[in-house]
Amino acid sequence: MPFAILDDVKLYYEAYGEGKPIVFVHHLAGSYKSWKFISYQFAKDYKVIVYDLRGHGRSSVLPLPYLIEDHSRDLKGLLEYLEVRDPIVVGHSIGTLIALDFSLKNSPEKLVLIGALYKAPDQEPYRRYVSIATNFGMEALANYRRMQKEFSPTLTENPQAWNSLLEVYRENTPLGYKMAVEGLLSARDYGEDLQRIDVPTLIVYGSNDGLIKNLNVMQKIPKHVTKTIEGYGHFLNFEEPQWLTKVITEFL
């Protein structure tokens, strides 16, 4: 299995295809498999890189909080390890914070931000999620959130989409999840820095994604294009991957 050995962490990754590099940065409690319905489509024309964030999937699970800056540094280290320059960076959920931090310190060619946030989310629900994961496991957490109707019906009522989310949840550990949440909740507010991002950026939301409330702030990015899809939620990579692939391809 391919791993990049960085200063303090071992990252699992996969790379395939040829052309301009495009790297996909997954969501909290995700893995490289979060992009399985999308990444191979891009491998026809691009060099695709997918990987597990620190604390996720097959990458190192360290017993300390994973700051957004740590994830951003990991991304830079992975790209340097692979001798990749000027990538297109596609981030989803927590991956958008990582992409923002990375783009403020480096020079991606373009950004794609799916279900984006620009600062730490409210702490209370995530403290509850950590407790459930710690006491009952990751699959129990996914099912709890489903019962609480925190996921869109276009995810939970689509067996292929739901089982795909469960698959990546199961690949994560309660400790890795806890440390990732601790880092997420300490994320700084990037809102005032968005106007400094000087690369073409695609901002994508499902209309039923609770994070769409961030759209007005995200549109501070000067060279942005916005796309929304009616009736879908936060996990467009599982819920409507064909549409997501299409809008990303058109943007690129």
pLDDT in tens, 93-133: 999 999 999 999 998 999 999 999 999 999 999 999 999 99
Cα–Cα distance, 99 to 122 (Å, whole number): 20
Cα–Cα distance, 71 to 26 (Å, whole number): 11
Is the model's pLDDT at 29 over the cut of 90? yes
Average pLDDT, the chain: 96
Cα–Cα distance, 223 to 104 (Å, whole number): 14
* pTM reported for the whole predicted model: 0.96
Non-local (6+) Cβ contacts of 252 within 8 A are: 22, 88, 110
Which of 135, 160, 184, 155 has the alpha carbon at shortest distance from 29? 184
Residue in the block written with tokens 């005032």: 192
Which of 185, 210, 216 has the alpha carbon at shortest distance from 119? 185
Tell me the pLDDT tens digit for each residue of 158-174: 999 999 999 999 999 99
The domain defined by 3-251 folds into Rossmann fold (3.40.50)
Q: Would you place residue 88 in the very low, low, confident or very high pLDDT band (cuts 50, 70, 90)? A: very high
Q: What is the pLDDT of residue 107?
A: 86
Q: What is the pLDDT of residue 175?
A: 98
